Structure 1
Amino acid sequence: MNWEQLLSLKRFGDTNKRIRKEQDETRLGFEVDYDRVIFSSEFRSLQDKTQVIPLSQTDFVHTRLTHSLEVSVVGRSLGRLVGKKLLEKHPHLYSVHGYQANDFGAIVAAAALAHDIGNPPFGHSGEKAIGEFFKTGEGKQFKNELTEKEYQDLCDFEGNANGFKILTESRAGRDGGLRLSYATLGAFMKYPKESLPKKPTNHIADKKYGFFQSEKEAFIDVANELGLLKRSKEAISFSRHPLAFLVEAADDICYTIIDFEDGINLGLIQEEFALEYLINIVRDKIKTKNYYELSNKEDRVSYLRALAIGTLIDEAVAIFMKNEEAILNGSFDCALLDKSKYEAQINDIIRISIENIYQSNEVVDKEIAGYGVINTLLKAYTNAVNNCYDNTASNYDKLILKSLPKTIKINDVSLYIRLSSICHFVSLLSDSKAILNYKKLKGFQFS
């Protein structure tokens, strides 16, 4: 892979190349990507979607929106620092093409801002709930009417693939989705493969999948424009865009450190754990006098969190640059922080978070409720849509159809398209809206 192709400013529908030196420096194309994500309705709904604690009423626990904003800030720093070093290593990128360090920061920031845009309500349990409906629930009846890959898309419903759909899917008045630059789309695609074969290797790019069968052509178009390397002759699978490693690192840094901070502030993790594990990461940077002058837990943990994020940013940049050649030829096969000298401390923090936050009674109880909500919605919507298509819709089905948006492809001849559009609609619901729709279906909502 080469950086000239990887930094493509092309957008869906472009007939001519976009040249970096011809860009308006006051409104750079990569910065427009960020704006388009942040003003999208799909991004706004993240303010009411679970990050860790579902439906939390506290004012400091992160939602998907605050998490995404934080990841974009960390991603911008990672991109700028890496960009500066890459321009020193490959000066022609600036002298011939006009790229600047901030370009890399803008690409990573925009992709990082969008990294959770496809996640359904109720966190990762929402993804699993959609999948279980088709794998073991009433949706299993459709298996024999779908191709193997179409059925796998539904059984392993993936927020990353759903995000790619949001960013690229055309609809009336919006050709090419948000029409982001291909460079930003490439950085967004952490798992550039289709749903099958499932985890064919231990390579990080094979951990999940990155597009549904409905977006296959759009994905191939982006991959070819960017010059991503093919990794399989049989299936659609490519090497990652190098900047996807930075998007992943920004996410890893934020959820590792900030979820840990949330757990401490909620009282789910004792402050002593912060002292033991965070200080091991920031030992070389901490100013002991300043730390002990902080009078409350939130300020102390905030101080350690800020230092830890800064330390891991520097670490990720160093690892990226050390392995740039392997990343460009597709042989670098793990997350950047898997090579970190702080890997043991990071793993300890994640282990404690799993035990005390992700598996806490509050989280588990609300995830159980989320399964019930999503199962009820999918059952009602799939019945209504498919009965309508078969001309067997009841009055109840017709009422449900009136409550659904016109984006659902009720009359599409493809069962896969009908089912995937229903899943997509459910995935766009906020936690509260999903519960409201559930109450209406159950007859609990009359106002």
Structure 2
Amino acid sequence: MNWSALLSLKRYGDTNKRLRKEQDDTRLGFDVDYDRIIFSAAFRSLQDKTQVIPLSKTDFVHTRLTHSLEVSVVGRSLGRIAGKRILEKHPHLHDTLGYRFNDFGAIVAAAALAHDIGNPPFGHSGEKAIGEYFENGKGKKYRSVLSEIEYQDLIDFEGNANGFRLLTESREGVEGGLRLSYATLGAFMKYPKESLPKRPTSHIADKKFGFFQSGQKAFKEVAEVLGLLSRTNSAEFSYARHPLTYLVEAADDICYTIIDFEDGINLGLISEDYALEYLIKLVQNTINTKKYNSLAYQEDRLSYLRALAINTLIIDVVSIFDTNEDKILNGTFTTSLLDQSRYQAQVKDIIALSVDKIYRSPEVIEKEIAGYRIISDILEVYTNALIRKKGHKASNYDMLMLQTLPELYRDTETTIYTILLNACCYVASLSDRAAVHIHNKIMGKSL
């Protein structure tokens, strides 16, 4: 892969090339990507979607929105630092084409801002709940009318694939979704493959999948314009990652490792004593002990340690990226950047403690259980109503329920796969509280 193609400013529907040297530096195309994402309805809904503690009543705990903003900030730093080194190695990118180190930061920041945009309510359990409905719940009845790969899209419903759909899917009057630059879309695609075959290798790009069958055409166009390397000789769609995807992933990994840990301490789920003990190897070369000891409040001490820890990991990650740039461009770098970190052991220890004390805390487990039931019930009502309408067998109740669906999701003059996928994507679009509200209406609790 080559950087000149990977940094493409092309958008869906462009007939002429968008050249970097002709861009207005006061409003660069990659900056426009960021703006389009942050003003989108899908991004706004993240303000009431779970990051760690579902439906938490504490106001300082992170939502998907605050998490996404923080990931974009870390991603911007990673992109800028890495971009400076890339331009030193490949001076023609600046001298001939006009790219600057800030461009790399803008691409990574925009892709990082969107990285959770397709995630359902109730955290990662939301994805699992949608899949469970079709694999082991009442949605199993649709198995016989779907192809193998269509069914796989549903039973392994993936927030990343839904995010790509939101960013790229055309609808009447809106061609190409948000019409982001292909560089940003490429950096967004953590898993550039379809849902089958499932985990064919241990390569990090094969861990999950990145687009539904409905988005295959858009995905292929982005991959080909960017010059992503095909990773298969068969008819399957599987490509090497865009190099900047590794930085987007690292920004996410850094934030959830350090900031979820911080949330757990603020919530009282983890003792503050663990903060310095677990972070000391990350901050020992930069901590000002006098300053740390002068901080009277826990919140300030945690903020100080968090900032130092994130900075340490940013520097380490960029070094790993720089060292392995050739492998990354050749598609042969098979792990995440943090998996190669000199602080890998410390990161794993922090995550293990967070899993034990936060992710498996009674509050989280209770809300995830409720989320499973809520999502399953909503899917059952809407999929039944939509499929019955397609077969001209809809009841009065079905028609009433369909009136509560946004018009975008009501179309039944299409395939069963598209109808079911649309129902899943509608549920995924809901905030935590909106899902609870709809479930209450279905159960007759709002009367």
Q: TM class by shorter-chain length?
A: over 0.9
How much does 1:144 deviate?
A: 1.2
Q: TM-score, normalised by structure 1?
A: 0.99
Question: Is 1:300 equivalent to 2:331 in the alignment?
Answer: no
- More divergent stretch after superposition (164-173 vs 236-245): 164-173
Corresponding residue for residue 244 of structure 1: 245
Partner of 1:331: 332
Contact 1:388 1:410 in 2 (8 A): no
Please list the CA deviations of residues 145-184 of structure 1 after superposition, one character each: whole Å capped at 9, or x if unmatched: 1011000000000000000000000112211000000000
AA aligned to 2:365 is V
Does residue 154 of structure 2 align to residue 173 of structure 1?
A: no
Match of 1:79 in 2: 79
Aligned 1:180-329 pairs, distance under 5 A: 180-234=180-234, 235-329=236-330
8 Å CA contact retained: 2:33, 2:181? yes
Question: Matched residues, percent identical?
Answer: 66
Query: 2:205, 2:86 → 1: CA distance?
Result: 23
**How far apart, CA to CA, are the structure 1 residues paired with 2:31 and 2:425?**
27
1:113 and 2:113 are equivalent in the alignment: yes
**Which residue pairs with 1:372 in the alignment?**
373
Over 4 Å off, 4+ runs: none
Residue 394 in structure 1 maps to residue 422 in structure 2? no
Q: What is the CA-CA distance between 1:306 and the residue it aligns to?
A: 0.4
Q: Which residue of 2 aligns with 1:416?
A: 417
Matched residues in 2 for 1:121 and 1:206: separation? Answer: 24
Root mean square deviation of aligned Cα: 0.6
1:13-58 superposed Cα distances (whole Å, 9 cap, x missing partner): 1111100011011100000000000000000000000000001111
**Residue type of the alignment partner of 1:225:** V
Mapped to 2, the partners of 1:409 and 1:370 lie a distance apart of 24
SS at match of 2:345: helix
CA distance in 2, matches of 1:405, 1:158: 22
1:264 counterpart SS class: helix
Displacement after TM superposition at 1:413 (Å): 3.0
Choose 407-416 or 270-279, whichever is displaced more: 407-416
Task: Give, in angstroms, the shift of residue 249 of structure 1.
Answer: 0.2
Q: Find the residue that maps to 1:407 and give its secondary structure.
A: helix
TM-score by length of 2: 0.99
**Equivalent position amino acid for 1:406 in 2:** E
Aligned residue in 2 for 1:2: 2
Stretch deviating more after TM superposition (107-116 or 297-306): 297-306
2:53 is matched with 53
Deviation at 1:301, TM superposition (A): 1.0
Matched, 1:95 2:95: yes
Q: Which runs of 5+ in 2 are unaligned?
A: none
Do the aligned residues in 1 keep the contact of 2:402 with 2:410 (CA within 8 Å)? no
Tell me the equivalent position of 2:445. Answer: 444
Q: Is the 8 A contact 1:294 1:300 kept in 2?
A: yes
In structure 2, distance between residues paired with 1:151 and 1:343: 37
Quote how far apart the aligned CAs of 1:411 are: 1.8
Taking the aligned partners of 2:147 and 2:13, their CA distance within structure 1 comes to 30
* Contact 2:68/2:114 (8 A) holds in 1: yes
What is the rounded CA distance, in whole Å, between the counterparts of 2:412 and 2:399 in structure 1? Answer: 13
Give the residue type in structure 2 aligned to 1:237. S
> Structure 1 counterpart of 2:265, which letter?
I
Code of the residue aligned with 2:297 in structure 1: it is N
1:173 and 1:359 map into 2 onto residues whose CA distance is 45
Native 8 Å contact 2:130 2:375 kept in 1: yes
Q: Which amino acid aligns with 1:124?
A: H
1:12 aligns with 2:22: no
1-side partners of 2:335 and 2:174: how far apart? 36
* Residue 296 (structure 1) shift: 1.4
Measure the CA separation in 2 of the matches of 1:374 and 1:440.
Answer: 13
Partner of 1:128: 128
* Larger mean Cα displacement after TM superposition, 20-29 or 410-419: 410-419
* 1:175-207, Cα deviation, whole Å (9 max, x unpaired): 100000000000000000000000000000000
The number of aligned residues is: 446
Alpha-carbon distance in 2 for matches of 1:95, 1:173: 39
The aligned amino acid for 2:164 is F
In the alignment, residue 190 of structure 1 is paired with which amino acid? K
Name the amino acid aligned to 2:437. Answer: L
